[in-house]
A and B are shown apart, each in its own frame.
Chain A
Amino acid sequence: MNAKNLIIAGCLLVSLDARAQEVNLSSLDAEPNRVHVTTGAEYGFVAGAGYSRVLPFLDRKLVVTGEVMLPWAALDVSDYRLRLGALVPIVGPGRWKLAGSIAWVLRGTESTINTMTDVGVDAALLGGFYDSRWFVAGEVGADVALTTKITHNDAYRETSHPDAMDGWYAGPGANLRAGVQAGVAFARYDVTMRVGQVRDVAGEAPLLPFYGSLALGARW
């Protein structure tokens, strides 16, 4: 494991993350601290853990979020995703609510042909019925790779393309998603799930054209 991977692994171990996109919007006035663990499928079989903090924001509540996610099917700390963002309720004083979220994304991967590091942004709209004990909502979102640094390895140069260009690539891609999420609360614990479909910016299905996750959270 090289120094970069050690640093990333260290960050992952100490990272406190949360998952603002699976929050019961009816519970924001209660406990301000939340942690969770999650697993599922999203660009691979993934597992993550996180922390979020509910903060006052003008006359609303703001859920500030950090998240770390690793693919676990072939565990490799070169593959990771870090997300830092916020969710804010937009409208809905009753139990029907609409919220928006935006997050900065940093992710990396090392494959058979290259190493990639990406800076992106993820924006989503969530709307649905939020009871204090359960919720069900729809979700639409866009995950945009703003710029990706690609470094090709020797194997790719020797086997395929000696003149492949290393560097930062602007706007190499984006994925859109639409799905549903639901959750139930038991005392100070939450169980939430998300399922949906993914399409790339060209309208094509990526290799894994769906996402789904199950999360267990605690509040205090």
Chain B
Amino acid sequence: MLNRNTSRRRFARTCFVIALALGACLDAEDPGNLVPKTVVEDPALPQISIAGTKLHAEAFGDPAAPLIIVLHGGPGSDYRAMLPLRALADDGYRVVFWDQRGTGLSQRHDSSTYALPGYLEDLRLVIEHYTTTPDQPIMFIGQSWGAMFATWFINEYGDYNGRVRGAILSEPGAFTKAQLDVYLDELMAAIPLTAEQFNDALWSRQFMSAADHARADYLGGLLAFGGRPSEVQDPNNKAPFWRSGTVVANSVFALVETHGFDFTTNLAAFPRKVLFLRGALNTVVTLDHQTKLAASYLNAEIVTIPNVGHEMIWETADEYLAHTRAYFQQIGFTGGLQ
């Protein structure tokens, strides 16, 4: 009996120690532990509400000045590495940054809530949110997926009643589903199976599951950190980001896989000149690749920035801004009050 009581006490003590230890543990789901808080978790963050969601968004410059709508990549990235474009506010523009639905510091949603028409409508509603006059000019600056997103809008809405004066498209991957398939094949082929980061991402799935948005975004960030090999990022000047949107990224890819897309059907009717800016070091988004995409526009120019890859806005901000200003001047998109 004594031995049995002793065993029970030991067992109870062990259970207590384990419970105490686990109780002192952190919770991966708690906001801010693994990834930054969203606008829902930290209401002090700059935000706007549209179409049933809260978007992390901020704008710089005079509200009545011509709008520059900045579109980040992904889908599932955020605008942090595009913040050097804020300098354009000093030139007399209203520069609008926003994390697209479900990514960056914007509100998270279940995958079942995403639909392609709604995703496009978000962009239109963001434009309208920041519009102060009915004929306020608009310019898109989109990187990667953001450049595809801008093209999607232009294909759908044309120049939006004369308001869209142009677009700067930095390394869009594809304008059609067929182009996307080729692009993704080349992108994946450029990732060696023996790459350390890729294998670390595989191995890490034993340590953590993507059971909620925080963990899914954290694991997604592990894979995306530093970019893909073909994008040739500067290891000494890594492009910053807040937080991946893993669920929305997977959802949008699943939607385009299911429904397909073609953003080129009306592009030839877009009367404005479009500037393609690409980094010379990117091994997948080559000059030939961008030339094929640019052919869908009536009037497009391609400029290659030397000695930089995909993250040209962050890594060579001055040169990117110089090309941007030259383009604005060329097409007559002038800053200041309209």
Residues of A within 8 A of B (CB): 43-45, 71, 73-74, 76, 79, 81, 107, 109-114, 116, 118, 120, 143, 145, 147-148, 150, 155-156, 158-161, 163-165, 167-175, 200-202, 204, 206-208
A43 touches B206 (CB 8 A): yes
Q: Which residues of B contact A155 (CB under 8 A)?
A: 225, 238
Query: Within 8 Å of chain A (Cβ to Cβ): is B240?
Result: yes
> What's the Cα separation between A201 and B211 when bound, in Å?
7
Taking A74-B195, A118-B207 as contacts, is the C-beta distance between A112 and B226 under 8 angstroms?
Answer: yes
> What's the Cα separation between A147 and B242 when bound, in Å?
26
Q: Which residues of B contact A73 (CB under 8 A)?
A: 193-194, 199
Taking A73-B194, A156-B225, A172-B28 as contacts, is the C-beta distance between A109 and B208 under 8 angstroms?
Answer: no
Complex interface: stretch among B32-40, B143-151, B173-181: B32-40
> What's the Cα separation between A167 and B26 when bound, in Å?
7
Query: Within 8 Å of chain A (Cβ to Cβ): is B279?
Result: no
Q: Which residues of A contact B120 (CB under 8 A)?
A: none
Complex interface: stretch among B86-94, B121-129, B215-223, B315-323: B215-223
B123: min CB distance to chain A, Å = 25
With both beta carbons as reference points, the residue of chain B lying nearest to A112 in the complex is identified as B225
B241 touches A71 (CB 8 A): no
Q: CB < 8 Å: which of B34, B196, B225 contacts A159?
A: B225
Residues of B within 8 A of A (CB): 21-22, 24-28, 32-36, 193-211, 215, 221-223, 225-226, 238-243
A74 touches B199 (CB 8 A): yes
Q: Which residues of A contact B34 (CB under 8 A)?
A: 150, 161, 164-165
Q: Which residues of A contact B26 (CB under 8 A)?
A: 165, 167-170
A173 touches B200 (CB 8 A): no
> What's the Cα separation between A156 and B217 when bound, in Å?
14
> What's the Cα separation between A204 and B159 when bound, in Å?
41
B207 touches A112 (CB 8 A): no
B80: min CB distance to chain A, Å = 9
Q: Which residues of B contact A164 (CB under 8 A)?
A: 33-35
Taking A76-B196, A107-B207, A145-B206 as contacts, is the C-beta distance between A169 and B222 under 8 angstroms?
Answer: no
With both beta carbons as reference points, the residue of chain B lying nearest to A117 in the complex is identified as B207
Most chain B Cβ neighbours within 10 Å, of A120, A143, A148: A148
Q: Which residues of B contact A208 (CB under 8 A)?
A: 202, 205
With both beta carbons as reference points, the residue of chain A lying nearest to B200 in the complex is identified as A111
B200 touches A112 (CB 8 A): yes
Taking A160-B240, A165-B32 as contacts, is the C-beta distance between A107 and B222 under 8 angstroms?
Answer: no
**In the complex, number of A-B residue pairs with CB atoms less than 8 Å apart:** 150
A148 touches B207 (CB 8 A): yes
B25 touches A163 (CB 8 A): no
B196 touches A160 (CB 8 A): no
Q: Which residues of A contact B197 (CB under 8 A)?
A: 111-112
Q: CB < 8 Å: which of B24, B25, B206, B223 contacts A118?
A: B206
Most chain A Cβ neighbours within 10 Å, of B25, B223, B241: B25
Can you list 9 A-B contacts with CB-CB less than 8 angstroms, sorted by A residue number?
A79-B200, A112-B200, A113-B225, A160-B225, A161-B243, A200-B211, A201-B211, A206-B202, A206-B210
A57: min CB distance to chain B, Å = 20
A74 touches B206 (CB 8 A): no
> What's the Cα separation between A202 and B238 when bound, in Å?
32
> What's the Cα separation between A163 and B30 when bound, in Å?
13
Q: Which residues of A contact B199 (CB under 8 A)?
A: 44-45, 71, 73-74, 79
Q: Which residues of B contact A143 (CB under 8 A)?
A: 206
A116 touches B204 (CB 8 A): yes
B24 touches A168 (CB 8 A): yes
Closest 8 pairs (CB-CB, A-B):
A173-B209, A170-B25, A200-B209, A111-B200, A206-B205, A74-B196, A44-B202, A172-B208
With both beta carbons as reference points, the residue of chain A lying nearest to B30 in the complex is identified as A165
B206 touches A81 (CB 8 A): yes
A167 touches B238 (CB 8 A): no
Q: Which residues of A contact B195 (CB under 8 A)?
A: 74
Q: Which residues of A contact B33 (CB under 8 A)?
A: 164-165, 169
> What's the Cα separation between A106 and B26 when bound, in Å?
19
Q: Which residues of B contact A118 (CB under 8 A)?
A: 206-207
> What's the Cα separation between A1 and B155 when bound, in Å?
54
Q: Which residues of B contact A147 (CB under 8 A)?
A: 21-22, 25
> What's the Cα separation between A44 and B194 when bound, in Å?
10
> What's the Cα separation between A203 and B114 when bound, in Å?
19
A84: min CB distance to chain B, Å = 16
Taking A74-B195, A160-B242 as contacts, is the C-beta distance between A148 and B225 under 8 angstroms?
Answer: no
A175 touches B206 (CB 8 A): yes
B210 touches A113 (CB 8 A): no
> What's the Cα separation between A116 and B27 when bound, in Å?
15
B210 touches A116 (CB 8 A): no
Q: Which residues of B contact A43 (CB under 8 A)?
A: 202-203, 205-206
> What's the Cα separation between A145 and B28 when bound, in Å?
12
A198: min CB distance to chain B, Å = 8
Taking A113-B222, A159-B241, A170-B22 as contacts, is the C-beta distance between A207 and B211 under 8 angstroms?
Answer: no
